Homo-oligomer: A and B are copies of this chain.
Amino acid sequence: MTEFSLPPIQTTARDDAVLKALAGFVMQEALGPGQRLPTERILAERLKVSRNTVREALTRWEGLGLVERRQGSGTYLKAAVSPDMLHMPLTLAGGNDFTGLMRTLEIRRALEAEAAALCAIRAGKAEIAEIERKLGIMEEAFHCRAGMSAEEDWEFHQAIYRASGNPLFEQIIAAMHELFHRFWEHPLGVRDFGHASFPYHRTIYERIAAHDPNGARAEALKLIATVEDDLKRGAANLKLSDLK
């Protein structure tokens, strides 16, 4: 029994149709992130559907992070859209406790190592220079403010993800990054959190600059390992039950 390419006819697929039309419109008008798209009322009128239907469709896009709605102002694009996008929503149960954080960190280790390796292969002179610049900023902030360089640290890593040539790395890790923020507001009792990971930033950069993928991968693994150790130390110091 071969599979017929017969998509089930759908008498009703209003919101989907709305999104398709809207995606087409966005492409046609060459709208990019930050730009405002038509009013809900106008969309409803133009597409000959109820404003409610338009809203459900936009709610979908909002949930996917494609769009941002500001009451009184309008609906704005947050990312580039194309008609052939693939959505893969992930929901992680219980990411608030220590175990959950540890698990996300394992994912990050996997991606960080691979991104560094790919970066070592693909990064051109411009990308390497950009990474070095971010590294310099981070190191300066680190020495200047005695270890408080979370923001600069993050930008350094982002530069690597970008230079990996695969935007998925940045997307996935950025999504998890919010989770870290939620957790790192509890200082965890470890004052010099992240101190141990500091030197590895430079070694990663050096391996990337030398176009040594395996070396970059190894250094990235070491970096995450130090973070995990810090985390474990912190967890040991602190009553875990207090974290709720």
Interface residues of A (CB under 8 A from B): 5, 12, 52, 55-56, 59-60, 63-66, 71, 79-82, 84-96, 100, 103-104, 106-107, 109-111, 113-115, 118, 166-169, 171-172, 175-176, 178-179, 185
Question: Which residues does chain B contribute within 8 Å of A95, judged by CB atoms?
Answer: 84-86
Are A90 and B91 interface neighbours, CB within 8 A?
no
A238: min CB distance to chain B, Å: 18
Q: Can you list 5 residue pairs at the A/B interface with Cβ under 8 Å?
A: A86-B179, A87-B89, A104-B168, A106-B118, A107-B169
A175: min CB distance to chain B, Å: 4
A37: min CB distance to chain B, Å: 16
Q: Which 9 A-B pairs have the closest CB atoms?
A: A110-B114, A88-B175, A86-B95, A89-B89, A63-B63, A86-B92, A110-B110, A64-B89, A88-B90
User: Could you say which of A12, A115, A168 has the most chain B C-beta atoms within 10 Å of its C-beta?
Assistant: A168
11 additional A-B residue pairs with CB within 8 Å, beyond A59-B59, A86-B91, A88-B90: A12-B71, A55-B56, A63-B64, A63-B89, A79-B91, A84-B96, A85-B93, A87-B89, A90-B168, A107-B168, A107-B172
Are A86 and B59 interface neighbours, CB within 8 A?
no
In the complex, A79→B111 CA distance in Å?
A: 26
In the complex, A56→B59 CA distance in Å?
A: 7
Question: Which residues does chain B contribute within 8 Å of A103, judged by CB atoms?
Answer: 166-168
In the complex, A59→B90 CA distance in Å?
A: 16
Are B109 and A114 interface neighbours, CB within 8 A?
yes
* Neighbour of A171 across the interface among B12, B92, B94, B100, CB < 8 A: B92
Are A88 and B85 interface neighbours, CB within 8 A?
no
The residue in chain B whose Cβ has the minimal distance to the Cβ of A55 is B56
